[in-house]
């Protein structure tokens, strides 16, 4: 390898929000992630919505999960 044209490649740690730490080789240092193989629902089999800051709830209110149920009731009375 030529010197000084390659990024510095060394060992680093990836820290997940769930607390899992991975030791990997990378050109970056101290990577932080919010989800990883240990806590991702696909791997854990646990159904949970990753909802930081109530975004899912606001989406539901805005785009009619609650509204849609009310309309269904009203049309059923006719």
- Site residues, Zn ion (CB under 5 A): 16, 18, 20, 36, 38-39
Q: Which is nearer to Zn ion, 12 or 20 (CB)?
A: 20
Q: Measured from the CB of residue 46, what is the shortest distance to Zn ion in angstroms?
A: 12
Question: Up-side HSE of residue 61: CA atoms within 13 Å toward CB?
Answer: 5
Q: What 3-state DSSP class applies to 72?
A: helix
Q: Measured from the CB of residue 33, what is the shortest distance to Zn ion in angstroms?
A: 7
Residues 31, 13 contacting (CB under 8 angstroms)? yes
Q: Measured from the CB of residue 34, what is the shortest distance to Zn ion in angstroms?
A: 8
Q: Which is nearer to Zn ion, 30 or 75 (CB)?
A: 30
DSSP 33: E
- Six-digit token string for 3: 């010197």
């Amino acid at each position: 390898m030529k010197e000084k044209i390659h990024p510095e490649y060394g060992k680093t740690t990836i820290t997940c929000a769930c607390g899992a730490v991975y030791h990997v080789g990378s050109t970056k240092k101290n990577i932080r992630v919010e989800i990883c193989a240990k806590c991702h629902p696909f791997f854990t089999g646990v159904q949970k919505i990753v909802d930081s800051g109530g975004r899912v709830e606001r989406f539901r209110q805005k785009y009619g999960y609650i509204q849609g149920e009310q309309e269904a009731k009203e049309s059923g009375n006719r």
